[in-house]
Chains A and B, each alone.
Chain A
Amino acid sequence: MSTSVILASAFVLSFVALLVFIWSQRHGLFSRDSTGANVIFGAEEIGRAEEPAVTSTAAHALQQQVNRASGKIAAPASASDLRTRAAADESSTPVVFFMFCAAFAWLLVATAAGLLASYKLHEPDFLTQHAWLTFGRVRTLHLNAVAYGWAPMAGLGIAMFVLPRLLGRPLLGGGFAMLGAALWNAALISGLASIAVGINDGLEWLEIPWQIDVLFVAGGLLVAVPLVLTLAKRKVEHLYVSVWYMACALFWFPVMFVVANIPGLHRGVEQATMNWWFGHNVLGLFYTPLALAAVYYFLPKVIGRPVQSYNLSLLGFWGLAFFYGQVGGHHLIGGPVPAWLITLSIVQSMMMVLPVIAFTVNQYQTLEGYLSALRYSPTLRFIGLGGLMYTASSLQGSFEALRSVNAVTHFTHYTVGHSHLGLYAFVTLVFFGAMYFIVPRVTRREWPYPRLIAAHFWLSSIGVAIYVIALCVGGWLQGEAMLDAGKPFMDSVSVTLPYLKARTVGGALMGLGHLVFATHFACMIFNLGPRRIGATLLGEAPAGAP
């Protein structure tokens, strides 16, 4: 039997299986009934905005916008609902706070390493005397500090905060997650140190030596313990879509990480396909679901309006789970790998358009009529823009997998631009937004300087816009020059120089934004700055709730 027949039949079979599976999970997929979307609200709470990131005056203005959009005055939430939520928030506070502190530290480390790497790429004789500062190592330190430091610490911290709220009870076993996070950070410190001294496994995204990876696995498993314990004792009947994303991310990651790091198992070209199965899935099945979970929780919560097409969000979930896993092969188009594998990955990359459209329609419908709320809520602004960038980066990625586009963009800075559209403009902005919501709940005070939030937003979004546009344009020109046999290779290098410099400028703006954010966070922790009366902690919480 030829490979194409095997491929076609496997594809049809799995596609049918997917449909049956979704059907069995959820009867009435396209019904208008979507009570599941309401579980993030208490009784009568729909229509009530929750936005701890703003001052009480701004919160009042936000509520007025929401009232106007929904056409009715929201009733205050019931005391028992607020008490449950307050207990949920309190239970997760220590572990969330710890993970966020780590996330801030890694954000700054990663920014410094990234900026240095970017600068070195157009100033190649800068700081060359020390091996650990050479481009190849600094770039790798940047990637690992983002991939195993900033993104998981922020994303897991957010998950730890949201899970007890969604499961209707205090977090169980938070101490395990705390220990897990401590192990995880210890592993990352040793991992980065080993990369800096030149010991690494030689695979992109999997550089940290496998001996250290054992610690990551132990840490990751411990972080998953409270999820399992709290799920088992949950007080709600329906599992909200954010729980799906978070729970699956927490289970997918360890499996992928273990399979990818088994020493001595993977060889030659097979190791390359495994490398991109992991490298792409860590984005698609770990960071992306954590960020989407945050969007699906915070966006409706802030504006007090349930997700409009809840069933569509479920379709989006299973679509992502099925298609995303198989797209990694497009990193090897034109490479020495079996042709069927490339074709499969291109097909599934295009199929990713489906879940992405499902998400986009949902986001649009939910925000429709509520756009004025963006002016009042920093959480919404970061998450709204981040969600939009999910659509942008996914569509860009799908088309990048097409052979004709890939022939130009593969091997160029275009790919780097694309990855920052995904991991920064989407994932990181969403995490920023969620953190603006969560930190006041954790530190029990409001952000002291609202203007710093605005500065952070504009620095980060303008910075990443410059970054992505510069690298996509520069990378495209680089690819075109490389495809032109009449031009010497050096033309493909010199054409990128202005764009590489622009990237450093964009990166510097983003870095400035991070400094602003970290300074603001430090003000929160150390109780600096004006302390306003009437902080918006849990809305009109009655006595008894903090």
Chain B
Amino acid sequence: MKSESRLLIGAMVMLGFAASALVVIPYVQVANVAPTSGMKPYTSTELRGREQYISNGCLYCHSQQPRAASLAPDAKRGWGRASVAGDYAFDTPHLLGTMRTGPDLLNIGARQPSVQWHLGHLYQPRAYVPGSIMPSYPYLFVIKAQAEPGDVVVHLPEGNAPAGKVVVATPEAQELVSYLLSLDRTHTVREQES
């Protein structure tokens, strides 16, 4: 090899092949796909909760892409049908995830619609799921001697709240839960979309 320009042009052509396969063609094919029927854009509270989901790194342990029955028993675990591109029409950035240290969350809002469960579970996951290795998030809560008007008090299972105190959810915790509850892609998918 005697010519550096031929080398670099060749190298860029190679990268161009890769970029057209993995970036350009998908952009043409799915970037502007229509939302699946029945989906609504996120509310501003839910979007702020989504920011909490990102900033606390939830996506590193939870995927948001149930797989088809031919590949994995995701549906049997109650995680929902295999997702399609239209399910993510409102998702920027995408949060598909790569790990299932914890369960898939694309339909957690349908599977567990209780605000109190989610708040308590964020405060101390092991109070609800023995053996869970999810971190607890005490910094999303305030411990008070007494609840004040307007406070959202978390009702924890016996023995998990600090003695004589109440656990109050911060706005961040409430927003995060409202995002989790919005995760519901159980509406049916038309044949041509699947």
Secondary structure of the A contact surface, majority rule:
helix
Indicate if the CB atoms of A326 and B21 lie closer than 8 Å: yes
Chain A residues with CB below 8 A from B71, complex form: 334, 403, 407
Chain B residues with CB below 8 A from A499, complex form: none
Indicate if the CB atoms of B4 and A321 lie closer than 8 Å: no
What's the minimum C-beta distance from B18 to chain A, rounded to whole angstroms? 3
**Which residues from 261 to 313 on chain A have a C-beta closer than 8 Å to any C-beta of chain B?**
266-277, 281, 285
Q: Identify which of A21, A120, A136, A251 contacts B58 (C-beta below 8 A).
A: A136
Indicate if the CB atoms of B139 and A247 lie closer than 8 Å: no
B31 within 8 A of A: yes
Indicate if the CB atoms of A202 and B54 lie closer than 8 Å: yes
Indicate if the CB atoms of A135 and B65 lie closer than 8 Å: no
Chain B residues with CB below 8 A from A341, complex form: 21-22, 25-26
Q: Identify which of B54, B60, B77, B96 contacts A332 (C-beta below 8 A).
A: B96
Query: How far does the alpha carbon of A122 sit from the alpha carbon of B103 in the complex, in Å?
Result: 17
Indicate if the CB atoms of A266 and B31 lie closer than 8 Å: yes
Indicate if the CB atoms of B72 and A270 lie closer than 8 Å: no
Can you list 30 pairs linking A and B with CB atoms under 8 Å apart?
Answer: A128-B135, A128-B137, A134-B57, A135-B57, A135-B61, A136-B57, A238-B2, A244-B1, A247-B4, A248-B11, A251-B11, A252-B12, A268-B88, A269-B85, A272-B88, A272-B96, A274-B22, A276-B22, A321-B14, A322-B14, A322-B17, A325-B19, A329-B22, A331-B98, A334-B65, A334-B71, A411-B97, A411-B100, A415-B99, A489-B103
A344 within 8 A of B: yes
Query: How far does the alpha carbon of A400 sit from the alpha carbon of B131 in the complex, in Å?
Result: 29
Indicate if the CB atoms of B96 and A200 lie closer than 8 Å: no
On chain B, which size bracket covers the interface? 35 or more
Indicate if the CB atoms of A121 and B56 lie closer than 8 Å: no
Query: How far does the alpha carbon of A485 sit from the alpha carbon of B21 in the complex, in Å?
Result: 35
Indicate if the CB atoms of B11 and A274 lie closer than 8 Å: no
Indicate if the CB atoms of A325 and B15 lie closer than 8 Å: yes
What's the minimum C-beta distance from B121 to chain A, rounded to whole angstroms? 13
Query: How far does the alpha carbon of A269 sit from the alpha carbon of B101 in the complex, in Å?
Result: 22
Indicate if the CB atoms of B32 and A267 lie closer than 8 Å: yes
Indicate if the CB atoms of A335 and B96 lie closer than 8 Å: yes
Q: Identify which of B21, B72, B83, B135 contacts A134 (C-beta below 8 A).
A: B135
**Which residues from 386 to 422 on chain A have a C-beta closer than 8 Å to any C-beta of chain B?**
403, 407, 410-413, 415
Total number of A residues with any Cβ neighbor in B under 8 Å: 90
Indicate if the CB atoms of B22 and A285 lie closer than 8 Å: no
Query: How far does the alpha carbon of A351 sit from the alpha carbon of B167 in the complex, in Å?
Result: 56
**Interface of A toward B, CB cutoff 8 Å:** 14, 21, 25-26, 36, 120-122, 124-125, 128-131, 134-137, 139-140, 198-204, 231, 237-239, 244, 247-248, 251-252, 255-256, 259, 266-277, 281, 285, 314, 318, 321-322, 324-326, 328-329, 331-332, 334-338, 341, 344-345, 403, 407, 410-413, 415, 482-485, 489-490, 492-494, 497, 500
Query: How far does the alpha carbon of A538 sit from the alpha carbon of B99 in the complex, in Å?
Result: 49
Q: A200-B54, A321-B10 are in contact. Are A131 and B139 (CB under 8 A)?
A: yes
Query: How far does the alpha carbon of A411 sit from the alpha carbon of B72 in the complex, in Å?
Result: 12
Indicate if the CB atoms of B57 and A490 lie closer than 8 Å: no
Indicate if the CB atoms of A248 and B7 lie closer than 8 Å: yes
Chain B residues with CB below 8 A from A259, complex form: 19, 23
What's the minimum C-beta distance from A221 to chain B, rounded to whole angstroms? 15
Query: How far does the alpha carbon of A489 sit from the alpha carbon of B63 in the complex, in Å?
Result: 14
Chain B residues with CB below 8 A from A21, complex form: 10, 13
Query: How far does the alpha carbon of A500 sit from the alpha carbon of B133 in the complex, in Å?
Result: 11
Chain A residues with CB below 8 A from B59, complex form: 136, 202, 204
Residue of B whose beta carbon sits closest to that of A199: B55
Query: How far does the alpha carbon of A325 sit from the alpha carbon of B103 in the complex, in Å?
Result: 31
Q: Identify which of A124, A136, A244, A411 contacts B136 (C-beta below 8 A).
A: A124
Residue of A whose beta carbon sits closest to that of B83: A336
Q: A134-B137, A338-B26 are in contact. Are A267 and B55 (CB under 8 A)?
A: no
Indicate if the CB atoms of B60 and A238 lie closer than 8 Å: no
**Which residues from 85 to 103 on chain B have a C-beta closer than 8 Å to any C-beta of chain A?**
85, 87-89, 91-103
Secondary structure of the B contact surface, majority rule:
loop
Chain A residues with CB below 8 A from B6, complex form: 25
Q: Identify which of A26, A202, A276 contacts B95 (C-beta below 8 A).
A: A202
**Interface of B toward A, CB cutoff 8 Å:** 1-2, 4, 6-8, 10-15, 17-19, 21-23, 25-27, 29-33, 54-61, 63, 65, 67-68, 71-73, 76-77, 82-85, 87-89, 91-103, 125-126, 129, 131-139
Indicate if the CB atoms of B88 and A411 lie closer than 8 Å: no
Residue of B whose beta carbon sits closest to that of A126: B135
Q: A131-B56, A198-B55 are in contact. Are A277 and B23 (CB under 8 A)?
A: yes
Indicate if the CB atoms of A271 and B2 lie closer than 8 Å: no
Indicate if the CB atoms of A338 and B1 lie closer than 8 Å: no
Query: How far does the alpha carbon of A175 sit from the alpha carbon of B24 in the complex, in Å?
Result: 37
Chain B residues with CB below 8 A from A125, complex form: 126, 135-136
Indicate if the CB atoms of A277 and B22 lie closer than 8 Å: yes
Query: How far does the alpha carbon of A386 sit from the alpha carbon of B102 in the complex, in Å?
Result: 33
Chain A residues with CB below 8 A from B27, complex form: 266, 270, 274
Chain B residues with CB below 8 A from A131, complex form: 56, 139
Chain B residues with CB below 8 A from A403, complex form: 71
Query: How far does the alpha carbon of A37 sit from the alpha carbon of B12 in the complex, in Å?
Result: 25
Indicate if the CB atoms of A277 and B18 lie closer than 8 Å: yes
Residue of A whose beta carbon sits closest to that of B50: A202
Chain A residues with CB below 8 A from B87, complex form: 336
Indicate if the CB atoms of A129 and B63 lie closer than 8 Å: no
What's the minimum C-beta distance from A338 to chain B, rounded to whole angstroms? 6
The 4 A-B residue pairs with the shortest CB-CB distance in the complex, in nearest-first order: A136-B57, A325-B18, A198-B55, A485-B73
Query: How far does the alpha carbon of A329 sit from the alpha carbon of B18 in the complex, in Å?
Result: 10
Residue of B whose beta carbon sits closest to that of A194: B55
Query: How far does the alpha carbon of A274 sit from the alpha carbon of B27 in the complex, in Å?
Result: 9
Query: How far does the alpha carbon of A99 sit from the alpha carbon of B17 in the complex, in Å?
Result: 32
What's the minimum C-beta distance from B48 to chain A, rounded to whole angstroms? 12
Residue of A whose beta carbon sits closest to that of B55: A198
Indicate if the CB atoms of A268 and B57 lie closer than 8 Å: no
Chain A residues with CB below 8 A from B136, complex form: 124-125, 128
Indicate if the CB atoms of A489 and B77 lie closer than 8 Å: yes
Chain B residues with CB below 8 A from A26, complex form: 1
Q: Identify which of B2, B18, B65, B99 contacts A237 (C-beta below 8 A).
A: B2
Indicate if the CB atoms of A124 and B85 lie closer than 8 Å: no
Indicate if the CB atoms of B94 and A268 lie closer than 8 Å: yes
Q: Identify which of B7, B67, B73, B89 contacts A268 (C-beta below 8 A).
A: B89
Chain A residues with CB below 8 A from B17, complex form: 14, 322, 325-326
Q: A124-B136, A239-B4, A269-B33 are in contact. Are A344 and B100 (CB under 8 A)?
A: no
